[in-house]
């Protein structure tokens, strides 16, 4: 069934791009201005404590709704002037929020959960970002591969990942374990996503664990073949990323509850629109630097409109299962007081 994904995606190249062009022309890249919060945003919960905030982000599809919230003025409606700060990497984003360079940071969940378990800082999850649908996190093999064509072929193979103890190894290991395959025999090879394309083409690795838009790029440019989906079985619809802040005495997550609530409302409004491709594809092109043709093919995953501790707990449990986190981490303790949680 996974092999049919390629055909479906390529067939969508024939779709008209008029709607995309209109959306691109309508979008604006100007930052929001003004220090004062709107009266509407201040009604009921009080005014925001900090009107101007910096948010560390990465150039990935996960943050597409965040940029839409900026462009459509959703943060401004809530009394916020949000400045995106593009970070060089996931670790840089985490370090940025710890040292106060940014107030809120986008992150793949394993990083802040591991840091929380080690008491590096008091991390608070202020908003959920993306949960993986089938097709977003995929283990692929080179075109015409005969060595790696099914799940049971994985032991002994060299498979590219971004880093150990990340979703790129944890999710596939969970799927392999669930299917009774010895994941301990896989040779994980660490490299950045951009380098995986060349490694696959040269035959340096037998496979690669990719996320969107690299999944689509590898299929379109290299003819890469899906072997199995990393977001399936025990990891189906697993939350992959969110926005975090630092709590504690005098820290943003403690001193600015109204600001966080305003941020959540604005982001949720944009997330609710994320099922509309015509609204997300321009953000992919503009901020994740994906060409328009690829943007039409990318799997759009689930952007959550609520913050539920029990869903994110799945990530902590996965990390505990494979020994990344020692002991038990209760994600509920990472949800700010007053935030929507279940």
Task: Enumerate domains of the chain plus CATH numbers.
Answer: 17-132+238-334 (3.40.190.10), 137-235 (3.40.190.10)
Residue 90 has pLDDT above 50, yes or no: yes
Of the given ranges (10-19, 82-91, 104-113), which has the lowest mean pLDDT? 10-19
Average pLDDT estimate for 315-330:
97
Q: To the nearest whole percent, how much of the chain has pLDDT over 70?
A: 85
Residue 136 has pLDDT above 50, yes or no: yes
Query: How would residue 339 be classed by pLDDT, with cut points 50, 70 and 90?
Result: low
Residue 342 has pLDDT above 60, yes or no: no
Average pLDDT estimate for 148-159:
98
Short-list 168, 143, 165, 139, CA closest to 154: 139
SS3 of 55-69: the string is EEECCCHHHHHHHHH
- pLDDT score for 337: 74
Mean pLDDT of the chain, nearest integer: 88
- pLDDT score for 333: 97
Short-list 128, 112, 131, 113, CA closest to 329: 113
- pLDDT score for 29: 31
Average pLDDT estimate for 194-205:
96
* pLDDT tens by residue, 202-260: 999 999 999 999 999 999 999 999 999 999 999 999 999 999 999 999 999 999 999 99
pTM, entire model: 0.85
Short-list 322, 141, 330, CA closest to 222: 141
Of the given ranges (15-19, 285-289, 292-296, 312-316), which has the lowest mean pLDDT? 15-19
- pLDDT score for 46: 65
With beta carbons less than 8 A apart as the criterion, state whether 157 and 148 touch: yes
């Amino acid at each position: 069934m996974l092999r049919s994904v390629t055909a479906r995606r390529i067939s969508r190249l024939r779709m008209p791009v008029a709607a995309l062009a209109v959306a691109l022309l309508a979008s604006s890249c100007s930052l929001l201005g003004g220090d004062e919060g709107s009266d509407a945003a201040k009604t009921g919960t009080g005014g925001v404590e900090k009107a101007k905030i910096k948010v560390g982000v990465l150039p990935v599809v996960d943050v597409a709704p965040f940029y839409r919230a900026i462009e459509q003025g959703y943060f401004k409606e809530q009394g916020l002037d949000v400045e995106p700060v593009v970070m060089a990497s996931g670790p840089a984003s985490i370090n940025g929020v710890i040292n106060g360079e940014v107030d809120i940071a986008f992150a793949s969940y394993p990083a802040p959960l591991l840091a929380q378990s080690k008491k590096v800082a008091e991390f608070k999850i202020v908003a959920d970002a993306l949960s993986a649908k089938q097709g977003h996190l995929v283990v692929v093999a080179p075109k015409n591969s005969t060595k790696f064509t099914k799940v049971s072929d994985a032991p002994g193979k060299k498979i590219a990942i971004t880093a150990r103890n990340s979703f790129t190894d944890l999710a596939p290991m969970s799927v392999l374990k669930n299917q009774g395959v010895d994941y301990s025999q896989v040779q994980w090879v660490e490299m950045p996503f951009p380098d995986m394309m060349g490694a696959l083409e040269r035959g340096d690795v037998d496979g690669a664990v990719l996320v969107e838009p690299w999944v689509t790029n590898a299929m379109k440019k290299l003819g890469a073949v899906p072997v199995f989906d990393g977001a399936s079985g025990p990891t189906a619809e697993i939350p992959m990323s969110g926005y975090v802040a630092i709590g504690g005495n005098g820290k943003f997550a403690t001193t600015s509850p109204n600001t966080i609530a305003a941020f959540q409302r604005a982001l949720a409004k944009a997330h609710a629109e994320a099922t509309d491709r015509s609204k997300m594809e321009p953000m992919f092109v503009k901020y994740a630097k994906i060409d328009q043709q690829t943007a039409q093919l990318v799997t759009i995953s689930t952007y959550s409109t609520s913050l539920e501790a029990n869903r994110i707990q799945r990530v902590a449990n996965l990390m505990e299962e494979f020994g990344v986190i020692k002991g038990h981490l209760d994600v509920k303790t990472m949800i700010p007081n007053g935030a929507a949680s279940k």
